[in-house]
Amino acid sequence: MILLFFSKKEGAGRMIEKLWINLSPRNSRIVKMLWSALTMFFIGFGIYLQIEADIGFPSWNALNQGFSIVFPITYGTASILIGLSIVAVDLLMKEPIGAGTLIDAVCVGLGTDFFSLLDPIPEMESIWVKIVVFVISLFILSIGQYFYMIAGLSCGPRDAFLVAVGKRCKKISIGTVNNIISAAVLIIAWFMGATVGIGTVLSVFGLGMVMDWTFKMVKFEPRSITHEDIMATAKAIFTNKE
């Protein structure tokens, strides 16, 4: 319903941009940051659904698990180290690191924990129900990506990497680029001993398809967004100037 509503609008992004387009530089950044935090919470709900479905790690999570198996570190430590490594690669590929990156690092986890604590989804026994819930989570993640990227405050580390690779493969859809990256990550994780399940396969091939369909519905191309880095955002907030 959300996608159908936005797809009927001329330039869905323009409708969202009305939240901040006529505000001062300072207030527009504050509203953008609040919007990004809200949408990251929404993404956290998608991740919560994947956890509840319990049919396999998505590829990046599988990589975290693989590193924790091969090296004497915890899953959480592996996640942090891999995340920092991706940030370094993003910088090398000239993708900005901004407020959106920091909000992603905090609010997705908080959103996932919040919904896990609330636990609104009853326990699922049927594998088919679990698969349906997992597929729904892919749509939530894709819609969430669109909602927060439109603010232009920079992407989370993995999304920034996706966009950076996508800019270098312009003839390939962003969803296909995501599939290729996810498949490569999964192969590495599998060789490291990570658990591979139905959800893992669905996330590798399904998320890219859902992403392409979602972005087409709302007429959105993530590679066309000009993101600002943390210094530009800080300048706008503290000086109220662009």
pLDDT above 90 as % of the chain:
68
State the pLDDT at residue 77: 87
**What does the pLDDT read at residue 150?**
92
What are the sequence ranges of the domains in the chain? 23-239
What average pLDDT score do residues 214-218 get? 89
Q: What is the pLDDT of residue 106?
A: 86
Q: Is 241 exposed, middle or buried (0-12, 13-18, 19+ CB in 10 A)?
A: exposed
- 105-159, pLDDT tens digit by residue? 889 888 988 998 898 999 899 999 999 999 999 999 999 999 999 999 999 999 9
pLDDT higher than 90, residue 229: yes
Rounded distance between C-alpha atoms, residue 202 and residue 205, angstroms: 6
Average pLDDT for the chain: 90
In the structure, what pLDDT confidence band is assigned to residue 83 with cuts at 50, 70 and 90?
Answer: confident
Is the per-residue pLDDT at 74 higher than 90? no
Largest CA distance in the chain: 56
Please indicate, yes or no, whether the overall pTM of this predicted structure exceeds 0.85: yes
Mean pLDDT of 92-108: 92
pLDDT tens, 153-187?
999 999 999 999 999 999 999 999 999 999 999 99
